[in-house]
C-alpha cells in the first residue's frame, strides 16, 4: 500500500505541465556529429515531426522536451484498437476520447552541423533504457487513463507524459521523474 501511494504521489508531481528533461548516457560507437532526437511518430511508428534534438557530448545527452503540442499531422485519435505502446496487450480500454502523439527516440549524424535533421541524414531508432524498463513518452490533449491486460494502467495528464515500462509476467508502469533514473541508450557499433 505504501509503495502504491508513493507511485501515486510521484505521478501527481510528474504532472508534465512543465518541460520534461531526459538526461542520460550513450554507449557504443558515437561518431562525430551524432545527435539524439525525439520525434512525434505516426500510428505505424514512422517519424513525422522532430520535437527535440541535442548533440551527444562526451557520451552524454540532455533532452528538454518542450511543453508545446506536436503538430496536428503528428496527432492521432487515441482509440483502444490503435494503441501499439510498449506493454499494451488486448483487451485495451481508454477512459476518454483524446488526441495523442507518441514520442520515439532516434539518433542521426548531423552531417552539415546545422543542429537539425535534413534529407540524407538517416534516422536510426534507439531504445532509451531506464533501469530494467524502457522510457515511454506520449502527449495527450486531455486527461485519460489507458488500461490493458497484465496489469497495464497509465494515467495521463494533458501534455507530455513519461513512464518507465517494465514488461514481464505483469506490466509495471512507473512515472518518470526528471533525474530520478539514469537513462542509457546503446548505439552499438
Contacts of residue 57, defined as CB under 8 A and 6 or more positions apart, other chains included, come to none
Preceding amide of 91 cis, omega within 30: yes
Measuring CA to CA, how many Å separate 35 from each of 1, 112, 114, 185? 42, 12, 11, 12
Supply 19's cell numbers.
Answer: 518541460
Domain that holds residue 128: 2-186
Mean pLDDT (the chain) is: 88
pLDDT at 98: 96
**pLDDT band per the 50, 70, 90 thresholds, residue 7:** very low
Measuring CA to CA, how many Å separate 180 from each of 60, 87, 131? 16, 21, 11
User: 82-101 pLDDT, tens per residue?
Assistant: 899 999 999 999 999 999 99
What total number of domains does the chain contain? 1
| pTM for the model | 0.87
Give the number of other Cβ atoms within 10 Å of residue 124's Cβ. Answer: 12
pLDDT at 43: 86
pLDDT at 11 over 50: no
Measuring CA to CA, how many Å separate 168 from each of 1, 131, 176? 21, 14, 19
User: 38-78 pLDDT, tens per residue?
Assistant: 999 998 899 999 999 999 999 999 999 999 999 999 999 99
Amino acid at each position: 500500500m505504501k509503495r502504491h501511494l508513493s507511485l501515486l504521489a510521484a505521478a501527481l508531481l510528474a504532472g508534465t505541465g512543465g518541460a520534461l528533461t531526459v538526461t542520460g548516457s550513450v554507449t557504443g560507437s558515437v561518431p562525430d556529429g551524432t545527435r539524439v532526437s525525439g520525434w512525434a511518430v505516426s500510428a505505424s511508428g514512422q517519424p513525422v515531426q522532430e520535437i527535440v534534438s541535442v548533440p551527444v557530448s562526451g557520451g552524454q545527452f540532455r533532452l528538454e522536451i518542450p511543453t508545446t503540442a506536436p503538430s496536428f499531422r503528428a496527432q492521432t485519435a487515441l482509440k483502444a484498437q490503435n494503441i501499439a505502446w510498449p506493454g499494451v496487450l488486448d483487451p485495451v480500454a481508454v477512459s476518454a476520447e483524446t488526441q495523442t502523439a507518441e514520442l520515439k527516440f532516434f539518433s542521426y549524424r548531423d552531417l552539415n552541423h546545422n543542429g537539425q535533421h535534413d534529407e540524407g541524414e538517416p534516422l536510426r531508432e534507439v531504445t532509451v533504457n531506464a533501469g530494467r524498463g524502457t522510457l515511454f513518452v506520449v502527449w495527450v490533449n486531455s486527461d485519460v487513463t489507458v488500461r490493458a491486460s497484465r496489469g497495464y494502467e497509465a494515467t495521463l495528464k494533458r501534455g507530455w507524459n513519461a513512464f518507465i515500462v517494465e514488461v514481464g509476467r505483469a506490466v509495471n508502469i512507473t512515472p518518470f521523474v526528471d533525474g530520478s533514473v539514469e537513462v542509457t541508450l546503446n548505439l552499438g557499433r
